[in-house]
Amino acid sequence: MFLLTLVTPQKKLVTDLDIEEVFVPAYAGELNILPGHAPLMTTLQPGALRYRAKDSDRLRYVAISWGYCEVHPQGINILAETAEFPEEIDKERVARARKRAEELLVDGNLNLDEIEKFQRKYARTLVRAEVSEQSE
């Protein structure tokens, strides 16, 4: 058994789900983690986390904003700042947030901290838009 647990500070999305594989948006690039993977700990960047449950041929998508991933012999634990399944994402809200981030970044009246903040927000909107297109 190789179990996936995915939580945020606000909710549990997946708890001890037996999986075949998981793809995580790690800081240095995407990782494909299979049963028997060496133990590791890494940070996550905004991206699409994908996993395939045992005895399923379908990948399930989750939009991740940032977080930590721990791989251990029994499975993988993911603590994300935010995480959303496709059906939880409001596409209109994503479009508004994307437009606002773009406008502020183009404006040129931001300090370095604000530029970094809105670059992160923009990156999250891209991920959320991509994941929202995935269907059941």
Q: What are phi and psi of 45, to 5 degrees?
A: -110, 170
- Report the pLDDT value the prediction gives residue 135, as an integer from 0 to 100: 59
Structural domain boundaries in the chain = 3-86, 90-132
Q: What angle do CA 124, 68, 116 make, to 5 degrees?
A: 40
Read off the pLDDT of each residue in 1-8 and give the average, rounded to a whole number: 96
Residue 42, classified by CB atoms within 10 Å of its CB into exposed (0-12), middle (13-18) or buried (19+), is middle
Per-residue pLDDT reduced to its tens digit, 12-35: 999 999 999 999 999 999 999 999
State the pTM of this model: 0.88
- Provide the 10 A C-beta neighbour count for residue 41: 10
Per-residue pLDDT reduced to its tens digit, 72-95: 999 999 999 999 999 999 999 999
CATH of 3-86, one of 2.60.40.10, 1.10.420.10, 2.60.15.10, 3.30.360.10: 2.60.15.10
